């Protein structure tokens, strides 16, 4: 997209849709607004923009310049469920609370790069992590409850979308980083690998495989390391009783906590506290 064509106005949600099990569906070429974001929840479909075809499968997301003539089609071989929204620019009441598009570009290098690289469309191979927020936006649009919240969701989605990898290869470090961040934030309440994978939007077996290949540690080894580091910090800098710290950091079994702590630090939790306070 040419930067001189960008409207220097706030964006708003022009339309939001959630259409299930499309068969033999074709929408004629049309234009509207400024941007459209369409996520394929299941099945397959095709976008055609300027004579170029963009085939999409489950978990793909297409971001397109909706001011260009475009159409979407699907057939009965793989019924398609899509979730999406379109953005337009205008000075609607309440929109003054949000930055203009040009202000967003100046503030966010990620969004600037994404939109400047948007010739006709960008296809993201796996945008499943955005499904929840997109569904929330759709329900908010349908309910017409809070336009401020609706616009806030659309701005958040643009920010998140700008950080998604555009290739399968670049997706691996992206997902590993997301897993590490989630573990650091939530180690005390993580129950299993499935919880981590669900938060990221991946299959647990696949996530474990790419995580261990990248970091050399398993997901659960990282969870345990974060718990032990937190326990060490609490032992040295708090008066929380030793026999309560295991639960604070997420261990369900006190004996496992003592064994893991001694294995990592070479002494028992109580021994470490005595040493730290001496």
pLDDT in tens, 183-233: 999 999 999 999 998 888 778 898 999 999 999 999 999 999 999 999 999
Structure confidence by residue, pLDDT tens digits, 29-66: 899 989 999 999 988 889 999 889 999 998 999 999 99
Per-residue model confidence (pLDDT) at position 1: 65
DSSP string, the chain: --GGGS-SS-EEEEEEEEEEEE-SEE---B--SSEEEEEEEESEEEEEETTEEEEEETT-EEEEETTS-EEEEE-TTS-EEEEEEEEEE---TTGGGS--HHHHHHH-HHHHHHHHT-SSEEEES--GGGHHHHHHHHHHHHHT--HHHHHHHHHHHHHHHTTS-SSHHHHHHHHHHHHHHHHHHHGGG--SHHHHHHHHTS-HHHHHHHHHHHHSS-HHHHHHHHHHHHHHHHHHH----HHHHHHHHT-S-HHHHHHHHHHHHSS-HHHHHHHHH-
Per-residue model confidence (pLDDT) at position 75: 77
Structure tokens, 182: 């989630």
Q: Whole-prediction pTM value?
A: 0.69
Per-residue model confidence (pLDDT) at position 22: 60
Confidence grade of residue 2 (pLDDT, cut at 50, 70, 90): low
CA-closest candidate to residue 113, choices 164, 53, 38, 175: 164
CA-closest candidate to residue 95, choices 22, 10, 213, 168: 10
Tokens 């003539």 -> residue: 69
Q: Rounded to whole angstroms, how far apart are CA atoms 217 and 212? A: 5
Structure confidence by residue, pLDDT tens digits, 94-144: 677 888 888 998 999 999 999 998 989 999 988 988 999 999 999 999 988
Question: Bridge partners of 38?
Answer: 62, 84
**Hey, how many other C-beta atoms are within 10 angstroms of the C-beta on 130?**
21
Tokens 């290739």 -> residue: 167
Q: Rounded to whole angstroms, how far apart are CA atoms 68 and 71? A: 10
């Amino acid at each position: 997209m040419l930067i001189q064509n960008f409207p220097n106005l706030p964006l708003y949600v022009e339309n939001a849709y959630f259409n299930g099990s499309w068969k033999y569906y074709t929408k004629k070429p049309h234009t509207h607004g400024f941007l459209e974001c369409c996520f394929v929840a299941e099945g397959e479909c095709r976008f055609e923009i300027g004579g170029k075809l963009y085939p999409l499968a489950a978990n793909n997301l297409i971001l397109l310049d909706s001011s260009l003539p475009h159409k979407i089609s699907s057939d009965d071989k793989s019924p398609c469920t899509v979730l999406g929204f379109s953005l337009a620019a205008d000075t609607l009441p309440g929109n003054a609370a949000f930055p203009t598009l040009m202000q967003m570009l100046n503030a966010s290098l990620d969004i600037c790069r994404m939109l400047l690289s948007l010739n006709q469309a960008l296809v993201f191979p796996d945008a499943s992590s955005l499904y929840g927020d997109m569904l929330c936006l759709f329900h908010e649009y349908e309910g017409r409850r809070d336009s401020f919240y609706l616009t806030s969701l659309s701005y958040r989605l643009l920010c998140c979308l700008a950080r998604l990898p555009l290739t399968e290869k670049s997706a691996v470090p992206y997902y590993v980083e997301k897993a590490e961040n989630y573990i650091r934030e939530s180690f005390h309440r993580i129950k299993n690998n499935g919880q981590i994978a669900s938060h990221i939007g991946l299959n647990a077996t696949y996530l474990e495989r790419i995580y261990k290949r990248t970091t050399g540690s398993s997901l659960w080894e990282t969870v345990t390391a974060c718990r032990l580091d937190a326990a060490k910090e609490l032992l040295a800098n708090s008066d929380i009783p030793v026999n309560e710290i295991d639960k604070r950091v997420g261990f369900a079994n006190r004996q496992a906590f003592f064994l893991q702590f001694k294995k990592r630090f070479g002494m028992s939790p109580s021994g470490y506290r005595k040493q730290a306070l001496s």
